[in-house]
Amino acid sequence: MPTPLHEKSSVAAIRDRFDQDVDRFSDLETGQTATIDAPLAMELVTRAAIQSTPRIRRTLDVGCGAGNSTLCLLQHVNPIDCDLVDLSMPMLQKARERIAHANTGVIRIFQDDIRDATLPEQAYDVIVAAAVLHHLRDEEDWKAVFRKLYGLTAPGGSLWITDLVSHENAAIQSLMWDRYGAYLSHAGGRDYRDNVFRYIDREDSPRPLTYQLDLLRHVGFYQVDILHKNSCFAAFGAVKTKMADR
């Protein structure tokens, strides 16, 4: 049986695991092995952010890890003022170090949970959230964070998410989970697959892509798009329209 929500890993436990894993997440080849099509999803999110957001001056990277998403964006738009949020201070320090080599804009770090972080309203032209929102728990948790992300997005700005997703239909969930298991076994063997499945069960509580698209619209985003989906992973996002465009 899956681990109940109230027995999932605490924020502190998740932070401690990532504190020990900075080097792996500083390398796209090793840090994204468990994520299907991670390089493609990151490229699509970057391109979509640029295409849909006329002027990118300030960005927010939620659950930034070692900074890969922001670094990808900086290859095309530079300089940018970057705010980085993560539970792990070692991750934040590594992200700031790496981004500072590629960017002359202001870099600010926030060691915090996005649920609690104090950030400026309607300030961010682009927000990216890569492999982080699956740590949200119950319905109210999901709604509150999506409302917060909408409030932080500047008018005309955009939010882009890449993440593990579940499925509404149990048979489809089983099909996609089997496909994911086969991918993990091919990437690292059965022991690797079983280890990934263990920490997903312990730490993660993903929601269906359909649920999240509906939630984006519910909190106020005007245009919602799917960029890519493969088995249990998806890349998608939304644009916050300017009032004059309604």
Q: In this predicted model, what pLDDT tens digit does every residue of 46-63 receive, in sequence order?
A: 999 999 998 999 999 999
Q: In this predicted model, what pLDDT tens digit does every residue of 193-208 receive, in sequence order?
A: 999 999 999 999 999 9
Q: Judge whether residue 33 has pLDDT over 90.
A: no
pTM: 0.95
Confidence of residue 244 (pLDDT cuts 50, 70, 90): very low
Burial class (CB in 10 A: 0-12, 13-18, 19+), 34: buried
Cβ-based neighbour number of residue 72 at 10 Å: 19
Q: Do residues 80 and 59 touch, judged by C-beta distance below 8 A?
A: yes
Q: Do residues 101 and 67 touch, judged by C-beta distance below 8 A?
A: no
Cβ-based neighbour number of residue 206 at 10 Å: 20
Please state which architecture CATH assigns to domain 5-245. 3-Layer(aba) Sandwich (3.40)
Q: Judge whether residue 146 has pLDDT over 50.
A: yes
Q: Judge whether residue 18 has pLDDT over 90.
A: no
Please write down the HEC assignment for all residues of 72-117. Answer: HHHCCCCCCEEEEEECCHHHHHHHHHHHHCCCCCCEEEEECCCCCC
Burial class (CB in 10 A: 0-12, 13-18, 19+), 237: buried
Both tokens assigned to 187: 């990437």
Q: What is the mean pLDDT of residues 125-142?
A: 97
Q: Judge whether residue 2 has pLDDT over 90.
A: no
Amino acid symbol at 164: L
**What is residue 246's predicted lDDT score, i.e. its pLDDT?**
47
**What is residue 160's predicted lDDT score, i.e. its pLDDT?**
98
Percentage of residues of the chain with pLDDT beyond 90: 88
